[in-house]
Amino acid sequence: MKIGVAGSVGLDHLMTFSGKFTDSFVAGSLEKVSLSFLVDSLDVRRGGCAANICYGMGVLGLNPVLIAAVGKDWADYEAWLSRHGVDTSHALVSTSLYTAHFMVTTDDDLNQIASFFPGAMSEARNIELAPIMEKTGRFDMLVISPDDPEAMLHHSDVCRKEGIAFAADPSQQMARMSGEEIKLLIDGASYLFLNEYELALAMQKTGWSDREILEHVKIRVVTLGSKGAKVESAAGEFVQVGTPQEKSKTDPTGVGDSFRSGFIAGLAWGLSHERCAQLGSLIATYVIETMGTQEYRFTSAEFLARFEGAYGAEAAAEIAPHLSF
């Protein structure tokens, strides 16, 4: 299964705050906010939604095609992703801008305050899929993850016109997109990935009801935090899976991206939606236990044992033939 992943590539600046952000909020004064937090640590790690998804798929033994605009500081990051099974040869390299930067502070309750500088990502609107597919072959699926909004809309439009299955993953970019733009992005998607907050935001901005959103896509996947994830369709499909027990809660950055990587890997392997969601949930658990979105490691045996512990021997037997990394 040939899978392209379009979206951001960036460097994550991960900070931790020993306390709760909510202790600094004053009821009745939220219309004027001036907050400053003394952080205890700073880690600079590789990140970006498309890169995180590709990394997870690569770790699971797949060879996704990264479709992204990157900066002139790309060389070391490219070598890293290439070593982990990602086809990076089609990235658009800016001659003037640096790779995007994501800055996030996490408190003791795992609440986060974040900012994003797009950098070279703003050039993603110049990427065309046709020349890439002339070299790679036609994509069986394109994952459209958070990116320059114009690029996201262009990719979804091309997929509809060319009959290419696509997974829409608007995530944090919904805050920048209008209701009409969100409609254009997700309409006709084979898969729509959201968390609970993003689903509520999509309903608010589009004016569509929960049911209407379902009717505009084939399958909707909603992540539920510690409660797992649910997969549903307008045709009546409904599956909900839980999350494996985490060994620690270190940092939630990139958890959603990693869930998508496991889910899409399951699709590539021809597994059921239940198994896909379970794969995504286990990868997400590895990420929350690790500082950095691309720092987790496991062997096939370790992954399978943990999967069986969470979801049972029958489920593990179904994924075992695909774990050859």
pTM equals: 0.90
Share of the chain above pLDDT 90, in %: 88
Q: What is the mean pLDDT of the chain?
A: 95
Residue 113: burial class (beta carbons within 10 Å; 0-12, 13-18, 19+) = middle
Q: What is the reported pLDDT for 26?
A: 83
pLDDT value of position 291: 87
Residue 89 burial (CB count, 10 A): 12
51 closest CA partner among 16, 99, 105: 99
Catalogue the active-site residues.
Answer: 257
- Type of residue found at 274: E
Q: What are phi and psi of 161, to 5 degrees?
A: -70, -35
pLDDT of residue 86 exceeding 90, the answer is yes
SS3 of residue 89 by DSSP: coil
Beta strands in the chain (DSSP E): 3-6, 10-16, 41-47, 65-67, 69-70, 92-93, 100-106, 112-117, 141-144, 166-168, 191-195, 219-223, 229-232, 238-241
pLDDT in the model for residue 172:
86
pLDDT digits (tens, 9 = 90+) for 189-199: 999 999 999 99
- For the chain, give the longest Cα–Cα distance: 57
Tell me, what's the pLDDT at 130? Answer: 97
Q: What is the pLDDT of residues 222-231, one digit of tens each?
A: 999 989 999 9
Q: Give the pLDDT of residue 59.
A: 96
Instruction: Provide the 3-class DSSP secondary structure of residue 234.
Output: coil
Stretch 205-217: mean pLDDT, rounded?
Answer: 97
Exposure string of 305-317, with b = 16+ CB inside 10 Å and e = fewer, is ebbbebbeeebbe
Whether 219 has a pLDDT exceeding 80, the answer reads yes
Measure the CA–CA gap between 9 and 85, rounded to whole angstroms. Answer: 16
* Span of 79-83, 100-104, 238-242 with lowest mean pLDDT: 100-104
pLDDT surpasses 90 at 34: no
User: Domains, the chain, ranges and CATH?
Assistant: 3-21+42-322 (3.40.1190.20)
How far is 68 from 204, CA to CA, in rounded Å?
Answer: 29
Closest CA to 90 of 136, 51, 126: 136
**The one-letter amino acid at 35:** L
> How far apart (Å, rounded) are the C-alpha atoms in residues 100 and 73?
10
Contact criterion met (CB below 8 Å) for 45 and 99? no
What's the pLDDT tens digit per position in 92-130? 999 999 999 989 999 999 899 998 888 999 999 999 999
